[in-house]
Amino acid sequence: MVANHDIHLSVRRGTVHALVGENGAGKSTLMKILYGMQKPDEGTIAVDGEQVSFSSPADAIARGIGMVHQHFMLADNLTVLENVVLGSEKLYGIGGNARKKIKEISDRYGLGIRPDALVEDLGVADRQRVEILKVLFRGAKTLILDEPTAVLVPQEVDALFDNLRELKSEGLSVIFISHKLGEVLSVADDITVIRRGTTVGTVIPSETTPRQLAELMVGSELPTPETAESTVTDQAVVTVKNLTVYAAGASLGELGAQPETATAGSAGATARGDVLDEATAPGAAKRVLDDVSFTIHAGEVMGIAGVEGNGQTELIDALIGTRHADSGAIEFLGEDITGWQTRKRRESGVGYIPEDRHRQGLLLESPLWENRILGHVTEKPNAKGFWLDIKGAQADTRRIVEEFDVRTPGIDVTAASLSGGNQQKLIVGREMSHNPKFLIAAHPTRGVDVGAQAQIWDRIREARREGLAVLLISADLDELIGLSDTLRVIFDGRLVADADPATITPEELGSAMTGAASGHLEHVDTAPEGNEGAAGPEDEAR
């Protein structure tokens, strides 16, 4: 295992042990070894002082090690109970016994799970708790959580952390993988930092600051997302007027909508729950985007804050053209593009960093140079007329790999073999290579390590200086505040509030995201600077 070498990690019972490191640093590999999905070439693993060797996840589970994956592995059309017993029917059967056990675990750790709820009706946070319960149900004493907060909003993160504290007070151990140093500091008892496949140190939260931790992680100067001076011009690039989109179910026979509603992940979940509620009320279909209007100027980054599933996905889809507006208009550089196809929009200068790079941004099993063609197949250097220009595309892929520091041994490897951060750098490089005038950046640094994050921010800022208009959608409030020139809050399909990124705090933004505040958000200087011990999850490293 050259992806990992000289890893030393010891987790004490009844603690939360955080594992932080850049993407591609080897965290995932390490976790796979601990969970029996991969075998180490050298070195040993000991559980309770006893040396063990795992050849499959089943071995790991038998030793009390359970894993909660970043991408949930639940069957939407089954109930919580069915999901939990699936694959371990032998433990407590599939009926009353299992239900009792689930209730017992749920009560004991304060998970608040109803065994008979359908998973498709659950929100992201609930699904995550089901995943945790699944692991506990199988008798895990050590839980591995892979970036559990990536899909949660601040309030949900707090609830998760309460759960984790509950778990450790009951004597369980938790290995917690995260990029968000503020979170790590607030919940972990020990923190181990991994860099370039090796452990560079273990620290105790009370003796360290986010900054020190981040420097340990990157091994160099730290990035901040702050944009220095305003570059906003008065030239409107994108104008959206009264954009309204109805829920997918409303328009029949939507071929394109099929894969979208089948999203196993986060965004669809809450939206679908809402649709169910709406369905009981007679009358109009649910408006997933309701009368949205805004203008983005050249050189402006407009950030959209909001809890996932409040219309962001639909807004992106409507702007890129994979879903058409039911009413309203989209203007791009003075032209009405509402009826344009996606390809025409992209050709005319709309760049797109999709929210789910695996599903929308990449062909995972295709080589990097084919991924470089994706989305720009009609444009130079990828095509000459009707024909593909393979040489041109390959040469340009090499340039992107070089310029955007995509770490890969070559351009013929499949996209799937790159780490998440490097995949994202390739996408950013691809989109920036066509000199977009308008960039839709959805979670541009999600699941990306600190180093790559800084590079991506730099690229966006650079292009913004040259007059790029950016729509930034992110769950990372610090990123939103730091990078945006203007901020809007989306709630239930409507833009309910706006704020000045220069003064607003993540907490204030967070409360608007739950619909508690609307209109123009003014920063109120009440509490003294939030330097108290309870560093919230919003406290990002800088």
Partner 1 sequence: MKKFDKERLLLALAGPVIALVLAIALTSIVLLASNRNPFEPYALMLQQLPYSDIQVLIINQAAMYYIAAIAVALGFRMNLFNIGVDGQYRLAAVMTAVVGANVGLPAFLQIPMLLLVAMLTGAFWAGIAGVLKVTRGVSEVVSTIMLNAIATSVIGYVTLSDVWGVQVGNNMTTGVMKKSGWFPGINLGSDVGEIYGMVFVAIALGIGYWIVLNRTRFGFDLRATGASESAAAASGVDAKRMVLVSMLISGAVSGLAGLPLLLGDSHTYSLDFPAGLGFTAIGIALLGRNNPGGIAFAALLWAFLDKASPALDYATPVAYEKEIATIMQGLIVFSVVISYEAVRQWGLRRQQRQVGAELAAAAAQNTKKEVAA
Handedness of CA 216, 219, 224, 229 (dihedral sign): positive
Does 451 contact partner 1 by CB under 8 A?
Answer: no
Q: How far apart are CA 202 and CA 208, in angstroms?
A: 11
How many CB atoms neighbour CB 490 within 10 A? Answer: 23
Q: Choose, by CB under 8 A, the member of 377, 511, 514, 536 that binds partner 1.
A: 377
| Residues 6 or more apart whose Cβ sits within 8 Å of residue 324 | 318, 338, 339
Residue 399, CA distances (Å) to 17, 372, 413 in order: 40, 11, 16
Contact between 67 and partner 1 per CB under 8 A? no
Q: Are 290 and 244 in contact (CB under 8 A)?
A: yes
* From candidates 66, 115, 154, 197, binder to partner 1 by CB under 8 A: 197
Q: Is 390 in the site for partner 1 (CB under 8 A)?
A: yes
> Which structure tokens are listed for 407?
């770490």
The reply to whether 196 sits near partner 1 by the rule CB under 8 A is: yes
Q: Does 399 bind partner 1 (CB under 8 A)?
A: no
Q: Of 81, 269, 418, 521, which one interacts with partner 1 (CB under 8 A)?
A: 418
Of 158 and 347, CB closest to partner 1 = 347
Q: Which listed range, 142-150, 168-176, 356-364, 491-499, lies at the site for partner 1 (CB under 8 A)?
A: 356-364
Alpha-helical regions (H) of 364-491 = 368-373, 390-403, 420-432, 450-465, 477-483
Closest CA to 84 of 144, 50, 117, 130: 130
Which residues make Cβ contacts (< 8 Å) with residue 71, sequence separation at least 6? 264, 265
Q: Which of 15, 244, 414, 518 binds partner 1 (CB under 8 A)?
A: 414
Helix (H) or strand (E) holding 322: none
Binding-site size for partner 1 (CB under 8 A) equals 58
Provide, rounded to whole angstroms, the least separation between the CB of residue 396 and partner 1: 15
Sheet of 327-332, strand order: 287-297, 236-246, 327-332, 335-336
Contact 413, 364 (CB under 8 A): no
- Contact between 502 and partner 1 by CB under 8 A: the answer reads no
Q: Would you count residue 73 as binding partner 1 (CB under 8 A)?
A: no
**Cβ at position 216, least distance to partner 1 in Å:** 16
Binder of partner 1 out of 11, 18, 24, 314 (CB under 8 A): 24
By CB under 8 A, tell whether 42 contacts partner 1: no
Q: Cis check for the bond before 381: say yes or no (omega within 30 of 0).
A: yes
Tell which one of 208, 244, 348, 417 touches partner 1 (CB under 8 A).
417
Binding-residue pattern over the window 312 to 351 for partner 1, x denoting contact by CB under 8 A: --------xxx------------------xxxxxxx----
Contact between 115 and 84 under an 8 Å Cβ cutoff? The reply is yes
Segment near partner 1 (CB under 8 A); pick from 89-97, 256-264, 456-464, 492-500:
256-264
Indicate whether 264 belongs to the interface with partner 1 (CB under 8 A).
Answer: no
27 binds partner 1 (CB under 8 A): no
**Burial readout 433-459 (b: 16 or more C-beta within 10 A, e: otherwise):** bbebbbbbbbbbbbbbbbbbbbbbbeb
* C-beta of 410 vs 519, nearer to partner 1: 410
CA angle 374-377-382, nearest 5°? 105
Nearer to partner 1, 84 or 319 (CB): 319
CB-CB contact of 345 with 320 (8 Å)? yes
The reply to whether 352 sits near partner 1 by the rule CB under 8 A is: yes
Among the residue ranges 45-53, 100-108, 301-309, 386-394, the one whose residues contact partner 1 (CB under 8 A)? 386-394
One residue of 155, 251, 378, 511 binding partner 1 per CB under 8 A: 378
The answer to whether 309 contacts partner 1 (rule: CB under 8 A) is: no
Residue among 20, 22, 29, 156 that touches partner 1 (CB under 8 A)? 29
Binding positions for partner 1, rule: CB under 8 A: 2-3, 5, 24, 29, 196-197, 253, 255-256, 258-260, 320-322, 341-347, 352, 354, 356, 359-367, 370, 373-378, 383, 386-388, 390, 407-414, 416-418
